[in-house]
Amino acid sequence: MKKTNEEKQEFYQRCSEILGIKHEYNTPVPRRTRWNTRFIGNGRYPGFGLIRCYNSSVMVTTRIHGSRMFDDYESVYEYLVALAKG
């Protein structure tokens, strides 16, 4: 099921809290043009990697642990907590 922008924003905020890394959410534009796509994409966590939402899936990419795909947000939270604990 496709997530709303509000659900994605809450997801990125929760990931930020788990990792202890600040994340600033940029609301996606409804139609991309060469003038309105000047913001960097969401899901970037400096020193950790990327967490990207793709419809109902989530991809977590880190330099140390590689890339993993998840089917729901709860699985991502569990994975991030495990990584944060070491």
**Confidence category of residue 18, pLDDT binned at 50, 70, 90:** very high
User: 86 pLDDT exceeds 80?
Assistant: no
Q: What is the mean pLDDT of residues 1-7?
A: 84
pTM, entire model: 0.86
Q: Are 76 and 58 in contact (CB under 8 A)?
A: yes
CA-CA distance, 3 to 68, in Å (whole number)?
19
Residue-wise pLDDT for 38-74, tens only, equals 777 899 999 999 999 987 899 999 999 999 999 999 9
**Confidence category of residue 2, pLDDT binned at 50, 70, 90:** confident
